[in-house]
Every structure is written in C-alpha cells, then in structure tokens.
Amino acid sequence: MKMIKVGMIGFGTIGAGVAKILAGNGEIIRQRLGAGVELVKVADLDITTDRGVKLSHDVLTTSADEVINHPDIDVVIELIGGYEPARKFLLQAIDQGKHVVTANKALLAKHGDEIFLAASEKGLSIGFEASIGGAIPIIRSIREAFVANRIQSIEGIVNGTANYILSKMSDENCDFDIALKEAQEKGFAEADPTFDIEGIDSAHKIAVLTRLAYGTPVPFDDITVTGISGINSEDIECAREFGYRIKLLAISKYDGQAIDIRVHPAMIPIVHPMANVNGALNAIRICDDMMKENILIGHGAGALPTGSAVVGDVVEIARNILSGVGERLPAGSFQGKEVNKTPFKNISEIESEYFLRFSVLDNPGVLSKISGILGKHSISIESMIQRGRGDRGKGVPLVMMCHKSSEKNIQSALKEIEALDVVCEKSNLIRVER
C-alpha cells in the first residue's frame, strides 16, 4: 500500500489533535484516499509531556531539522505559531522539496506572499485551512467553491475567545472581567489573552481572507483594530434594548475601487443569523455577485476541529502527490501574475450607523449641548436612552443610536463632546453592521 509520509513541527494542543486523528481515523482516511498517511517524525522542544496520544520514541525528536531534512517525508506540518522560527522552518521545508501545511494565521498575515511564492517556484502545495475558522472550510470555499464569483464583502466572527466572552456577558449579564476569567478557566482563553480580546488574532485572519478574496497584498499594520475590553454590561443591555447584539467582527469590503478592512465590536440586529452564533463558535459571511450571501458556521478552535482541518489539507496534498500533480491551486487564490496592489480605505472614509455611550453629569442642558454638537457635524440621532439620576458629581449613562454618517464627522464630534466639562469619561463608540 502506498504511504504518504508526514512530519510535524510542534506537538502542542493542535499537534496532539492531528496525531489523534491520524491514529484513530487512519483507516477511513485510507479508504477515501486510496493510500495511507503515516506520521513518521514529530519535533517539539518538549517530548516528555503526556498529550493523550502515544507515539513511539523513534518518532519524537527535539530537532526540527530532523523533520525538514528527513528523506522520506512528503509533507511537513508547522504548528508552532508565531513569526520565527516558523517562517524559517516552512521556507527550509519548501527548499527541501516538501509540501507544507500550517495553521499559522499570524505568519501568513505578515509573510504569506513570501511563502506562497517560494512554494509556487518549487511547484509545491501549501495548505492552511486550519489558520482560519478551525473546521470551517472557508479557505477551500474561497479558492474553489466561489472561484467564479466576485466577492464583495467578508464579515466574520473569527475568534472563539472573544465570542465566548461577549456571549456570556449577554446571556448572563456579567461583567467583562468575570467572563474573561471563566473563559480562561475553561481553556478558551490564554493566560495572556491580548491577541484574542484586543482583536489582533481576528485581524490576522481577515488579512489572509482579504488576500484570497481580492488578490492583493494586505498591509497588516494599516488594519484598524479595536478589541472588546472596552465593552461593559451597560453596552450589552442597551444593545438589547435597541434590538441588537454585540459581536467582535472582522470586516473586509471591496467596492471595486478600494478595500475597507477593519476589526472592531459591532452591533448586529438580533434577527441576523450571526447574532445568534454564541459561545466559542465562529461564523463567516461572504457576499458576492452570484450567490449574494453565504454564511459558514462551525467550531473555530480546539484540538480536534483545527486538527481536522490540518489533516484535510494533508489528504488534499496527498491526492495531488498520488496524481503526480504539484501546485494544483495557486496558494493565494489568484495566479501570481494577477496579484496587484489595491488601495485600502482609511477608517475615516467609511460611513456607518453608530451607537454612542456617554457618561455625563445629570445637569440641565447637557442633552442639548451634546445633540447640538452632533447636529453641527451632520449627525442625526435615531433614538436615545437616558438613565436616572446618579450621585451628585458622578456620571450617568446617556446612550444614542445615530443614523448613518461619516466616520470623520463622528470622530470630530466625539472629540468636541469629550472636551465638555459635563462629560465624565471617554465615550464609547460601537459601529452598526447589518
């Protein structure tokens, strides 16, 4: 029986999931592929910790070079994360003539074009389905299922940690800190959750999706990113009263001229399908010129969902090997010569509806001052919530939903409002997406 031999660098949570899947479902893979997939070498700095899956001692090594330079290995899986040495390992594996698979969205967001080019020049395949959405086949959908469609926008709940926190705050009316602590206790959030709660992880993912959807390099550092740490229970409750739920959205929109790409908390109507994607689930909505709207929902993280996506890429590459094919699909979705730089919009250029929360002194004339400034900047108020009196000298919430206006105008108005002596703290702005 023909065997496709695989090496893996990184034996953490996802690596253990990959090993479990190959060991437990090896027979069904063989039946579908027509060949076996054998994990012949696994490298990690720690090869003594019990991962819940048994590998022979001759498979385990502390040296990535033993994987990269192994003469029998067809496919190298990289699961260590980060920029370096992951980038170096992938490029070395490609240079050795090996196909590669990675779940490293941060690396692809920053260095994807370099890695795609290296693989293409060698006629090799690179699989990265596991980098976004766990088991959701979003990469395969864009590269294959939607290949004939002009993608107009992508919106996604692509970070399970942030979604779990916001869901818990909404469902149980608890504060951000409590929800975060529980997410950490359940293993949904890292000890240092910065990348998740501040939107950086989501930004990595939308950068990769934008590259695939529109065939343009993405300047990662130009993406506007706002996390969820500024969301409080008052925002959640007011959103509910207005008929919305708050989600951390990664957004990419292309109008044929320029791309609007950003990550931030957003209010979406409770009737929207993504409003009810809760817990650690992910959801990605793609709008295009043919099918108008498609929403993919599934488990976006975890050893087995992500491991399943990794193994799916390995099997797809194995099919190519068995057929004598190298790079069947361009890694970046577009042929290399068709990749062109597309302008990106500054956040100040967008238009949106807005939720505004102020903390103000409960004094006469406060509302007229704030509404007057908004009106001066061509911002119209749709509805408003004003809470009762607080202690003298302390702020009370004043919440407004505003009709569509420009980001430039809303930011100018907020700067002026926050300079008022009746405003007690920095205001909170949440954009509305429908």
CB 170 within 8 A of CB 236: yes
Active site residue 88: no
**Nearest-angstrom CA–CA distance, 309 and 304:** 9
Question: Which residues have a Cβ under 8 Å from the Cβ of 9 and sit 6 or more positions away?
Answer: 42, 43, 44, 64, 67, 68, 76, 77, 78, 79, 80, 89
- Backbone phi and psi for residue 163, each to the nearest 5 degrees, phi listed first: -70, -40
What distance in Å separates the CA atoms of residue 428 and residue 378, rounded to the nearest whole number?
Answer: 19
C-alpha distance across the termini of the chain, in Å: 53
Strands (E) in 66-106, as ranges, are 75-78, 99-102
Q: What's the Cα-to-Cα distance from 234 to each of 248, 342, 356, 374, rounded to whole Å?
A: 17, 39, 12, 22
* Sheet containing strand 60-61, strands side by side: 60-61, 36-43, 3-9, 75-78, 99-102, 126-127
Closest CA to 146 of 50, 76, 214: 214
8-state DSSP, 416 = H
Q: What is the DSSP letter of 133?
A: S
What phi and psi, each to the nearest 5 degrees, are found at residue 205? -70, -45
Structure tokens at 38: 């054998």
Give me the catalytic one of 5, 98, 205, 345: 205
DSSP string, 345-389: --GGG-EEEEEEEEEE---TTHHHHHHHHHHHTT--EEEEEE---
Active site residues: 205
